[in-house]
A = this chain, B = another copy of it.
């Protein structure tokens, strides 16, 4: 009881910063945390977040499922680790001009590209990501785009969070509508043939005049294929305009 050798399970923070105690007794470890995380990222990239199961991941590493719990306390922590490595290796581009707007636009585009390349990340990432090295470096780098604009520290954090939340949502919506279109057995024509009559009957222009008019215009404009990217482009300009209101005052 009192002499029980407590093996405190590694907290998430220790894993993120790779601050494991490095014990020496017992058999050698056949893997590293990085290998597990890398395999998980590869699997999620190729087959999506729902294909990332403990069993599949263990299989891809040539181990039994339960073995992974030696390296990671649970699936939640695994996803956090995946996200942080993604942030650490994130590609960045230079701003296209000297102004704050160019810098923030580059930040937005880089994040959008990241989430489009790894759709599982947009779906998985929580509002406040865990404070790993990758996240911290990203936060530092992106905050610099807002430095020297006359904003207070709190405003800088608010502004960045606002921009990043928009990008993440846009990417998530884009990936989702893409997945829905792929998963849908019906083509657009088939869907319209099946549901068109009912829709026409029920969406009369007297009950919903504005909705019918605007909805039809929007549907024709972007034929649902480039819908998501258009929404991102529109939203990014609006978001930057919104930030301009507190920057250029």
Contacts and interface: CB of A to CB of B under 8 A. Distances in A.
Interface of A: 11, 13-14, 17, 19, 126-128, 131, 133, 136-137, 139-140, 143-144, 147, 152-154, 156-159, 161-162, 165-166, 168-170, 172-173, 176-177, 180, 194-195, 198-199, 202-203, 207-211, 213-215, 217-218, 221-222, 230-231, 234-235, 237-246
A231 to B, nearest CB: 6
A2 to B, nearest CB: 21
Nearest to A231: B161
B165 A173 contact: yes
A214 B173 contact: no
B143 A13 contact: no
A195 B137 CA distance: 19
Given A14-B198, A165-B235, A242-B245, 16 more contacts: A11-B195, A13-B199, A17-B198, A19-B198, A136-B208, A144-B210, A147-B210, A154-B217, A154-B221, A154-B222, A157-B214, A157-B215, A157-B217, A158-B218, A237-B245, A242-B243
Report copies per complex: 2
Contacts of A241: 241-242, 244-246
Contacts of A176: 126-127
A195 B194 CA distance: 57
A215 B239 CA distance: 22
